[in-house]
């Protein structure tokens, strides 16, 4: 039958279009066929049929035992929970629910009103009209869901504002209510977010927990649908109904590690509010980068700056607008949190909740990575913390924070950095040594990158006060100090660990970066590995280390500008030193083997071999 | 609102780094010996000051003879001494709303449960950099009170900065008000509500201010020194010793005897003591020697070495101080000097 229908249609159409070209006729026909097929599919689609049912069902149809109603409702629910309902579907369902054609709108119908995109304005208006006209007795739970659905519509708050505004812009209604009406409170708290100056109410913060039981499955279903449709989760939901996991933290006395909520400023200076012609947009209303750019000049920072650490948009904004007060506020909060959690705790605070501390530091690290620099307060904290750190608590995070420290003037670098690190280094495990060398490697890299990023600035003569005059040479001094320090650490570390190849690998990584100081970053520095690093690499048992040393040598050889043959000079220097470094290396290797092995004879043979090995051949020096 | 977007310059970054480094390097140290170096190692001996002319008698009555719980506060952002009435209204509504679940409370509306008043406690700020002290009082009617009964003060607290470090105070931008010392007394839940409101409104942070060993020793020495002018009756110290079961030692020394010990300690540092009477400076080394004298005296009698334990409390007729951050001042004469010391302790806790 279908085929016949199609043929008939195409025949009748072709007779009308006889004067068109064959090609267009054919393409038109295929378009029409596609259109018809689609329409047919839609008409047969159970979901569409169900919607049709709900829009056409008569008032008074019995509810209980009505299989048709049940089936259609199931179909609608299926679609709703998988991909959400289109605006038209929402319209139809909401209309059905509110018009009470089939009794009281049951929560089930409202529960499935999960929007795929938006809730249309007209549906909202109609729903409110039904509410007011019919004066229906609605149960609390139903009303909860209704409120939630309505608030999916972005216009609802504007609507509220319009409804409640008097001529002169002041609010035109007072809220009098007695007893507990939590849903109205939620409405108000949400309203307060958008128009804080109109809601001069103090809303208790604890009431939000009451809503949780009803709506959290619904809320999670909504989030799933929206995520599936690749939408940004509506912030209005998360704003008012955010249920923070307070189970653990409520018990704690000091809940430092929680980021404060992103809330707008509650007290506005009276003169500022009236006189400013432009309305400031609170930060929490900014949802996307495009919005940020649009409102760049009138963004209002939140009441508590610590909340910005949770939002990358906000951080981007902060990075651009160099507001000293804002940064200082953020630094105060951050410094306070770090100090309280790790430095001032007398009862081993960090040990009590290591999970939260870990998450907090990870977030801080990701923020620093995002901004490509650290914070004053975290630097100050690090300098203090290094003196009391045991080297194992949250090691990767602490080393990560350490590598983000900016350039330290060479007069301070010893007390602030080297002394505590030396203490930690020599009393730690192999893995810590490796970690620290890697951290210092990253630190050097970041210093060099910072220098090259600002290399265009000629004005490098910075005098803070009479006894600090930082110039380019000051930066060079700091880098030089750092490299020499790592050299010292590496030499002794390799001795202590018996030239362990893992440690050697990290150290050679560092020296590759040192090569880069001149080659990549243009800083006129040439620093060779000290004897304590050179010999272990040169005589290493594994070929990889020797290869890497050779690579470093090769890179230096390509520098013709600085000194014609730096390796020559280096080896001459080794020679003049009487090969003390080599003697140390050999002696140390012997001692290591004696300590480690149990069998005596083998040791003797080994040591004899080592004793006779080091005849430095002439070609090396030429 | 600043619309100028300028790229951070290298010199700015460098300057910030330098400032952090020098700031920390000058104050580095968490072991007791180094902490002493960071705190002022010498301070002027407190003179008896009659501050009844500067401070209203009803305020003084409020401050003395009360045990205060101490906290430190980071600087408050956009706190205006001119907006205290508005703050009172906001905080009243906040407390009322938090205390009664399920009701939103209108700001400025009539509610009889809690009444908060913010006021300026004038006379305590010593230098021109010190902001004025702010007093917060929460009053409420008890449960079964009659209508005509006046509301009772159920909670009281004050924020102050007395003789704060001028360098630090001047280094803060104009928007910030530094009132690092917070003293409170009253119900714990009200304290946390007030703190929470202040945190949200002025973006500041509250932390407990413990009175550490160094400060307690300072107080012991300073109060002993005050005995020259005012009778302190006796110096009482409470130590705890780390034994099982924990041993608590209450060591009370008669005032004249302890003054003799103090004087003999000071005389041994002969060069310093020949100064004009109104500029007597006490060095921390003298304080240490004084404490050692006390402890060795105790050891001689009881064979218990108090230096193995911890000093928990120091008290005299002039006041008492406990290690968990509780302080009581019994005489208004030395109020300023004691709270200057405590302001210094609070400023040391500032993260940057």
pLDDT digits (tens, 9 = 90+) for A398-434: 999 999 998 888 888 998 999 999 999 998 999 999 9
Contacts of A339 in chain B (CB under 8 A): 207, 349, 351
Closest CA to A304 of A332, A273, A272: A332
Chain B: nearest CA to A365, how far in angstroms? 18
The two three-digit tokens of residue A445, written as one number: 């890299």
Lowest mean pLDDT among A146-155, A297-306, A473-482, A596-605: A596-605
On whether the pTM is more than 0.80, the answer is no
pLDDT > 60? residue B205: yes
Lowest mean pLDDT among B19-28, B190-199, B263-272: B19-28
Per-residue pLDDT at A267: 52
Residues forming beta bridges with residue B159, ordered by sequence position: B134, B182
Give the chain A residue whose CA is nearest to the CA of B17.
Answer: A406
Are A304 and B24 in contact (CB < 8 Å)?
A: no
Q: Residue with structure tokens 């507990």?
A: A180
Average pLDDT over residues B163-189: 92
Average pLDDT over residues A113-123: 70
Per-residue pLDDT at A132: 65
Per-residue pLDDT at A8: 44
Are B74 and A336 in contact (CB < 8 Å)?
A: yes
- Count CB neighbours of A604 within 10 A: 11
Spans of all domains in chain A: 24-140, 147-167+176-208, 285-345+352-405, 413-564
Q: Residue A241: which H helix or E strand, with range?
A: helix A235-241
**Mutation choice for B interface testing from A196, A210, A329, A449 by most B CBs within 10 A:** A329
pLDDT > 70? residue B239: yes
Residue pLDDT, tens place only, B206-232: 999 999 999 999 999 999 999 988 899
pLDDT > 60? residue A249: no
Lowest mean pLDDT among A62-76, A522-536, B60-74, B233-247: A62-76
Residue pLDDT, tens place only, B88-112: 999 998 888 888 765 666 666 656 6
The two three-digit tokens of residue A115, written as one number: 């929007």
The C-alpha atoms of residue A56 and residue A72 are separated, in whole angstroms, by 12
Task: Transcribe B25-77 into DSSP letters.
Answer: HHT---SHHHHHHHS-SEEEPPPP--GGGTS-HHHHHHHTT-EEEEEEEPPEE
The C-alpha atoms of residue A422 and residue A485 are separated, in whole angstroms, by 9
Per-residue pLDDT at A554: 80
> Is the CB of residue A227 less than 8 Å from the CB of residue A237?
no
Are B107 and A201 in contact (CB < 8 Å)?
A: yes
Residue pLDDT, tens place only, B47-74: 777 777 888 888 999 999 999 999 999 9
Are B11 and A457 in contact (CB < 8 Å)?
A: yes
pLDDT grade for A206, boundaries at 50, 70 and 90: low
Question: Least CB-CB distance to A321: which of B5, B94, B349?
Answer: B5
Q: Residue with structure tokens 């709703």?
A: A80
Query: Over A204-232, what HEC string results?
Result: CHHHHHHHHHHHHHHHHHHHHHHHHCCCC
> Is the CB of residue A357 less than 8 Å from the CB of residue A350?
yes
Beta strands in A152-251, from DSSP E residues, in sequence order: 201-202
Question: Least CB-CB distance to B205: which of A185, A336, A450?
Answer: A336
Distances (CA, A) of A142 to A77, A146, B55, B102: 17, 6, 60, 19
pLDDT > 80? residue B313: yes
Residue pLDDT, tens place only, A485-540: 999 999 999 989 988 999 999 999 999 999 888 778 877 777 888 888 988 898 88
Are A331 and B351 in contact (CB < 8 Å)?
A: yes
Chain B: nearest CA to A392, how far in angstroms? 19
pLDDT > 70? residue A387: yes
Side-chain half-sphere CA neighbours of B73 within 13 A: 26
Average pLDDT over residues B115-132: 91
The C-alpha atoms of residue A236 and residue A256 are separated, in whole angstroms, by 26
pLDDT exceeding 70 applies to what percent of chain A?
57
Contacts of A401 in chain B (CB under 8 A): none
ipTM of the complex: 0.89
- Count CB neighbours of A408 within 10 A: 25
pLDDT grade for A57, boundaries at 50, 70 and 90: confident
Average pLDDT of chain B?
84
Q: B212: which residues sit within 8 A by CB, 6+ positions away?
A: B32, B35, B323, B345
Chain B: nearest CA to A153, how far in angstroms? 25
Are B108 and A200 in contact (CB < 8 Å)?
A: yes
pLDDT exceeding 70 applies to what percent of chain B?
81
* Residue A21 near chain B (CB below 8 Å): no
Per-residue pLDDT at A611: 43
**Mutation choice for B interface testing from A188, A189, A204, A258 by most B CBs within 10 A:** A204
Higher-confidence position of A514 and A585: A514
The dihedrals phi and psi of A353, each to the nearest 5 degrees, come to -130, 70
* Residue A449 near chain B (CB below 8 Å): no
Question: How many residues can be counted in chain B?
Answer: 352
Higher-confidence position of A397 and A207: A397
Are B205 and A338 in contact (CB < 8 Å)?
A: no
Per-residue pLDDT at A466: 30
> Is the CB of residue A156 less than 8 Å from the CB of residue A237?
no
Question: Least CB-CB distance to A182: which of B8, B30, B102?
Answer: B102
CB pairs under 8 A between A and B: 182
Are A409 and B18 in contact (CB < 8 Å)?
A: yes
Q: Which residues 321-340 on chain A approach chain B with CB closer than 8 angstroms?
A: 321-325, 328-329, 331-340
């Amino acid at each position: 039958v279908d085929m016949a229908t199609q043929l008939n249609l195409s025949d009748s159409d072709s007779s009308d279009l006889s004067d068109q070209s064959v090609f267009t006729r054919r393409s038109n026909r295929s378009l029409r066929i596609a259109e018809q097929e689609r329409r047919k599919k839609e008409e047969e689609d159970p979901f569409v049929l169900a919607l049709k049912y709900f829009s056409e069902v008569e008032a008074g149809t019995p509810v209980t035992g009505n299989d048709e109603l049940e089936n259609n409702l199931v179909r609608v629910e299926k679609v709703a929970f998988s991909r959400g309902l289109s605006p038209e579907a929402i319209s139809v369902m909401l209309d059905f629910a509110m018009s009470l054609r089939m009794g009281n709108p049951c929560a089930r119908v409202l529960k499935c009103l999960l929007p795929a995109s938006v809730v249309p304005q007209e549906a909202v208006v109609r729903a409110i009209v039904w509410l007011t006209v019919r004066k229906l007795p609605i149960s609390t739970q139903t009303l909860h869901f209704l409120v939630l659905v309505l608030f999916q519509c972005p216009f609802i708050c504007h609507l509220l504002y319009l409804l409640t505004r008097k001529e002169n812009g002041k609010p035109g209604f007072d809220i009098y209510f007695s007893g507990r009406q939590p849903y109205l409170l939620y409405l108000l708290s949400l309203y307060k977010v958008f128009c804080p100056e109109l809601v001069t109410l103090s809303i208790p913060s604890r009431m939000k927990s009451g809503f949780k039981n009803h709506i959290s499955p619904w809320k999670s279903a909504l989030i799933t649908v929206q995520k599936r449709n690749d939408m940004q989760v509506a912030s209005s939901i998360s704003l008012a109904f955010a249920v923070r996991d307070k189970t653990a933290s409520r018990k704690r006395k000091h809940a430092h590690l929680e980021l404060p909520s992103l809330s707008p400023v509650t007290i506005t200076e009276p003169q500022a509010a009236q006189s400013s012609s432009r309305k400031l947009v609170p930060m929490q209303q900014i949802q996307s980068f495009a919005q940020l750019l649009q409102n760049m000049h009138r963004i209002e920072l939140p009441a508590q700056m610590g909340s910005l650490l949770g939002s990358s948009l906000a951080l981007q904004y902060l990075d651009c607008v160099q507001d000293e007060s804002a940064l200082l506020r953020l630094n105060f909060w951050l410094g306070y949190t770090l100090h309280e959690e790790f430095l001032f705790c007398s009862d081993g605070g960090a040990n009590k909740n290591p999970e939260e501390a870990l998450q907090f530091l990870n977030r801080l690290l990701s923020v620093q990575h995002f901004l490509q620099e650290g914070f004053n307060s975290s630097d100050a904290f690090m300098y203090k913390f290094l003196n009391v750190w045991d080297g194992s608590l949250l090691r990767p995070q602490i080393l990560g924070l350490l590598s983000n420290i900016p350039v330290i003037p060479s007069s301070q670098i010893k007390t602030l950095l080297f002394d505590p690190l030396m203490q930690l280094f020599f009393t730690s495990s192999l893995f810590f040594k490796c970690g620290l060398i890697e951290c210092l490697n990253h630190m050097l890299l970041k210093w060099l990158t910072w220098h090259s990023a600002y290399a265009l600035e000629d004005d490098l003569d910075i005098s803070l006060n009479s006894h600090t005059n930082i110039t380019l040479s000051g930066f060079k001094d700091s880098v030089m100090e750092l490299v020499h320090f790592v050299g010292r650490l590496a030499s002794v570390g390799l001795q202590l660990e018996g030239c362990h190849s893992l440690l050697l690998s990290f150290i050679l990584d560092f020296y590759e970066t040192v090569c880069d100081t001149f080659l990549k970053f243009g800083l006129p520095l040439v620093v060779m590995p000290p004897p304590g690093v050179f010999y272990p690499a040169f005589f290493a048992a594994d070929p990889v280390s020797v290869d890497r040393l050779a690579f470093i040598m090769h890179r230096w050889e390509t520098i013709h500008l600085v000194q014609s043959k730096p390796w020559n000079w280096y080896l001459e220097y080794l020679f003049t030193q009487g090969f003390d470094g080599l003697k140390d290396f050999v002696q140390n290797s012997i001692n290591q083997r004696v300590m480690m092995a149990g069998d005596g004879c083998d040791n003797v043979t080994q040591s004899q071999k080592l004793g006779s090995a080091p005849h430095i051949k002439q070609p090396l020096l030429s | 609102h600043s619309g100028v977007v300028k790229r951070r310059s290298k010199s700015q970054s460098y300057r910030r780094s330098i400032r952090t480094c020098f700031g920390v390097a000058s104050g580095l140290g968490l072991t007791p010996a180094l902490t002493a170096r960071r705190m002022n190692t010498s301070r002027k001996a407190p003179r008896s000051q009659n501050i009844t002319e500067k401070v209203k008698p009803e305020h003084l009555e409020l401050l003395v003879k009360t045990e205060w719980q101490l906290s430190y506060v980071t600087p408050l952002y956009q706190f205006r001494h001119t907006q205290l009435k508005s703050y009172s209204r906001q905080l009243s509504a906040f407390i009322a709303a938090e205390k009664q679940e399920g009701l939103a409370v209108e700001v400025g509306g009539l509610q009889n449960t809690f009444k908060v008043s913010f006021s300026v406690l004038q006379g305590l700020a010593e230098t021109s950099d010190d902001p004025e002290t702010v007093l917060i009082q929460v009053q409420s009617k008890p449960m079964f009170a009659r209508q005509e009964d006046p509301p009772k003060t159920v909670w009281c607290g004050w924020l102050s900065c007395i003789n704060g470090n001028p360098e630090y105070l001047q280094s803060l931008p104009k928007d910030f008000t530094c009132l690092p010392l917070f003293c409170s007394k009253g119900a714990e839940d009200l304290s946390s509500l007030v703190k929470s409101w202040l945190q949200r409104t002025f973006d500041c942070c509250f932390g407990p201010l413990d009175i550490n060993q160094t400060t307690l020793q300072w107080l012991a020495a300073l109060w002993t020194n005050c005995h020259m002018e005012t009778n302190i009756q006796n110096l009482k110290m409470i130590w705890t010793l780390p034994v099982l079961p924990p041993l608590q030692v209450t060591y009370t020394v008669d005032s004249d005897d302890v003054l003799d010990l103090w004087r003999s300690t000071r005389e041994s540092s002969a060069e310093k003591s020949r100064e004009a009477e109104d500029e007597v400076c006490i060095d921390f080394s003298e304080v240490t020697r004084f404490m050692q004298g006390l402890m060795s005296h105790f050891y001689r009698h009881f064979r218990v070495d108090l230096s193995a334990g911890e000093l928990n409390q120091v008290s005299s007729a002039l006041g008492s101080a406990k290690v968990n951050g509780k302080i009581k001042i019994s005489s208004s004469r030395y109020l300023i000097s004691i709270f200057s010391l405590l302001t210094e302790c609070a400023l040391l806790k500032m993260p940057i």
